[in-house]
Amino acid sequence: MRAVVCRELGPPSVLRLEADWPARPPGPGEVRVRLAACGVNFPDLLTVAGIYQEKPALPFVPGREGAGTVVEVGSGVATPAVGDRVMLRTPGPQGGFAEEATVPAALCHPLPAGMSEDEGAGFIVVYGTAWHGLVDVGRLQAGEMLLVHGAAGGVGLAAVEVGKALGATVIATASTREKRDVALAHGADHAIDYDADGGFREGVRALTGGRGADVIFDPVGGRLAEPSLRAIAPEGRLLLIGFTSGEYARLPANIILVKWATVAAVRFGVFSRKYPARAQASLAHLAGLYELGKLRPRIAQRFGLEEASTALERLRDRAVVGKVVIVP
Ligand SMILES: NC(=O)c1ccc[n+]([C@@H]2O[C@H](COP(=O)([O-])OP(=O)(O)OC[C@H]3O[C@@H](n4cnc5c(N)ncnc54)[C@H](OP(=O)(O)O)[C@@H]3O)[C@@H](O)[C@H]2O)c1
């Protein structure tokens, strides 16, 4: 089958489309899915660069999610069945940028009613991370103030929508006017520039009557970390999602103590492997929210398999608003 192959670590330009990557028949408990679309996530960029926590052996096919139709099932699989439309995760950080994926049946979910394959391909990682972060880790309550950084990116925009669905007031930050407008169109109550006069910290203080945000969802890190802590409410929860800025968050312990705050790690992939039933239940909730029209995945652009490098370069260059998908 055709697949995008990483034979050396580096920038997205190291990726090559190969015509004869072997498709794998499903083993016991597995299914083989013909992919209609593959989701593209920032961690794919980090995996190809060799700086992601999990490092697949070379050569490998990057990509960790997709959507399509089941074409073969292994022994012992009750659901899904051949012909079912599913969205899926791969068991590790590899295998998604291809015409087919062979994965455990337990990592497949029926496509919610009305959801296209393009939407399904980019759904599980971003909405799963947003839900796990806000609900399981952040304990976000209706009526609380939620601050989402990088709010027009994949996980950021998902957190805006999930936060609204949970009844929070959402303040979004993003670097451009276009991105802030998209966050507002997806339900954010307010949108501010990180670098507005006085920085976003002043904006958050003004919007919360000086109290600060109860929960902060931060996929960006770096220079946002300290002002985020200063903009947090007493007993607030700062959720560490990732570091797209390229710098780790450096956090002053004195402010954490004085604010009586919690700084918490969110790791959706690890959570899903350790607690598969809880992750399945979260995705069932999210599918329900999609069917109610409360989640509206934004597919910004589609690329062919031969353009996988370009798709990753768009993420690296901060040029994506919502999600990009690869359509084999
Ligand atoms: N913890 C978990 O379980 C989990 C799961 C999935 C993803 N993640 C992490 O979440 C982060 C976001 O992933 P994603 O797929 O949503 O990425 P994305 O779609 O590319 O969005 C990332 C956002 O980060 C902002 N950003 C700020 N500085 C940046 C820079 N130097 N380069 C690129 N973007 C920059 C951009 O918004 P502005 O231009 O508005 O600043 C961009 O919209 C990544 O660090 C990823 O590893 C974590």
For 2-22, give the DSSP string: -EEEBSS-SSGGG-EEES-PP
Neighbour tally for 51: CB within 10 Å: 11
**What phi and psi, each to the nearest 5 degrees, are found at residue 234?**
-55, 135
Pocket test for ligand 1, best of 38, 40, 42 (most atoms within 8 A of CB): 42
DSSP-H helix ranges across the chain: 42-49, 117-121, 124-131, 154-165, 177-185, 199-207, 225-230, 253-259, 268-274, 276-291, 308-316
On the question of a common fold for 3-123+298-326 and 126-269, the answer reads no
Give yes or no for residue 150 CB within 6 A of ligand 1: yes
Average pLDDT over residues 274-289: 96
Ligand 1 pocket test: which of 313, 318, 321 has the largest number of ligand atoms within 8 Å of its C-beta?
318
> pLDDT for 117-152, tens place per residue?
999 999 999 999 999 999 999 999 999 999 999 999
Could you give the maximum distance between any two Cα atoms of the chain, in Å?
Answer: 61
CATH topology of domain 126-269: Rossmann fold (3.40.50)
Q: Is 151 in the pocket of ligand 1 (CB under 6 A)?
A: no
Query: Which listed CATH number (3.40.50.150, 3.90.180.10, 3.40.50.300, 3.40.50.11030) goes with 3-123+298-326?
Result: 3.90.180.10
The string of pLDDT tens digits covering residues 64-86 is 999 999 999 999 999 999 999 99
Distance, in Å, from the CA atom of 214 to the CA atom of 148, rounded to the nearest integer, reads 11
Give how far Cα 275 sits from Cα of 53, 84, 86, 210, Å.
19, 25, 21, 38
31-35, 36-40, 206-210, 245-249: range with lowest mean pLDDT: 245-249
Please tell me the predicted confidence (pLDDT) of residue 250.
87
- Cα separation, 186 vs 128, whole angstroms: 17
pLDDT value at 199 more than 90: no
CA 314 to ligand 1 center in whole angstroms: 12
What is the reported pTM? 0.98
**CA of residue 56 relative to chain centroid, distance:** 20
The mean of the pLDDT values for the chain is 96
Domain ranges of the chain: 3-123+298-326, 126-269
Q: Residues of the chain with pLDDT > 90: what percent?
A: 97
Lowest mean pLDDT among 134-148, 186-200, 229-243: 186-200
Alpha-carbon span 262 to 98, nearest angstrom: 40
CA of 3 to the centre of ligand 1 (A): 25
Burial grade of 318 (CB within 10 A; 0-12, 13-18, 19 or more): middle
pLDDT at 196 over 80: no
State pLDDT tens for residues 19-53.
999 999 999 999 999 999 999 999 999 999 999 99
